[in-house]
């Protein structure tokens, strides 16, 4: 079967022409992705390939699913190699950063829910644990953010010494720890509790307050402050 492109589709089904006539807002997620892909593969148009890519996103429909799908899942779609899979993941990351910028200014974290909401879509579908440290100024505005550790499916490795070596560069009076549980259950483990207490005690010696430790699950979270650990 011949190699197919968007030009092989009927005129009124071509995303390029639809964009030029009606604007980007008229395009479906599949059509937007098809334009980015530019061409299909042997036996399918770019629109069909885009549809198969979005269908491979298991956790969320549409373009938002690209952020949560893995490189391996993308590469399992016929016609998507490693280069194209990396490009798709970069598109998802670009969209996430634009979305955060549009919120305007530096985020203000006044309560655990605001922190969890900021990181929920970033972390809730990750397959390994990540630990982030948020540096807050005196008004609870985000002054800096560091990804401190990327671990296995069950744990991320972090030492309080390494944490505060990074924190001190920001001269921040308060910090927040955020990490995810790939299982989807945000219940603290004994290791989570022990780490939190170590960080709290080390921070007190340096005059830095541990404001909270948030564990992200699947559309749910646990706040160590609300649970009384801090």
What is the average pLDDT score of the chain? 84
Lowest mean pLDDT among 9-13, 130-134, 141-145, 201-205: 9-13
Model confidence at 45: pLDDT above 90: no
- Say if residue 119 is in the same domain as residue 210: yes
- Say if residue 87 is in the same domain as residue 123: no
Choosing from 81, 101, 121, the residue where a domain stops is 101
- Give residue 151's pLDDT band: very low, low, confident or very high (50, 70, 90): confident
Backbone angles phi, psi at 144, to 5 degrees: -175, 160
Q: Are 29 and 62 in contact (CB under 8 A)?
A: yes
- Mean pLDDT over 74-100 rounds to 84
With respect to residue 106, please indicate whether it lies within any of the assigned structural domains.
Answer: no
Distance CA 205, CA 169 (A): 16
Choosing from 58, 82, 101, the residue where a domain stops is 101
Residues above pLDDT 70, as percent of the chain: 88
With respect to residue 96, please indicate whether it lies within any of the assigned structural domains.
Answer: yes
User: Could you read off the pLDDT of 154-211 as tens digits, one per residue?
Assistant: 556 677 888 898 889 999 999 999 999 999 999 999 999 999 999 999 999 999 999 9
Report the pLDDT value the prediction gives residue 157, as an integer from 0 to 100: 67
Residue 18 domain boundaries: 3-101
**33: closest CA among 61, 54, 5?**
54
Cα dihedral 102/103/104/107 (nearest 10): -140
Q: Give the chain's domain count.
A: 2
Q: What is the pTM of this model?
A: 0.64
With respect to residue 8, please indicate whether it lies within any of the assigned structural domains.
Answer: yes
């Amino acid at each position: 079967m011949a190699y197919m492109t968007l030009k092989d589709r009927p005129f009124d089904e071509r995303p390029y022409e639809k964009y030029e006539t009606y604007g980007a807002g008229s395009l479906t997620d599949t059509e937007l992705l098809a334009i980015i892909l530019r061409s299909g593969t042997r036996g399918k148009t770019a629109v069909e390939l885009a549809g198969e890519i979005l269908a491979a996103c298991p956790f969320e429909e549409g373009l938002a699913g690209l952020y949560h799908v893995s490189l391996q899942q993308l590469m399992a779609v016929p016609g998507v190699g490693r280069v194209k899979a990396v490009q798709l993941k970069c598109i998802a990351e670009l969209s996430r950063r634009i979305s955060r910028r549009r919120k305007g200014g530096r985020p203000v974290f006044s309560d655990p829910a605001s922190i969890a909401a900021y990181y929920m879509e970033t972390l809730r579908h990750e397959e390994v644990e990540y630990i982030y440290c948020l540096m807050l100024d005196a008004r609870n505005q985000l002054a800096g953010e560091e990804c401190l550790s990327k671990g296995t499916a069950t744990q991320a490795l972090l030492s309080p010494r390494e944490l505060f070596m990074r924190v001190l560069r920001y001269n921040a009076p308060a910090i927040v720890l955020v990490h995810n549980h790939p299982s989807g259950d945000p219940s603290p483990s004994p290791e989570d509790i022990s780490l939190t207490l170590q960080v709290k005690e080390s921070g007190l010696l340096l005059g830095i307050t541990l404001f909270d430790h948030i564990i992200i699950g699947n559309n749910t979270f646990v706040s160590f402050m609300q649970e009384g650990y801090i």
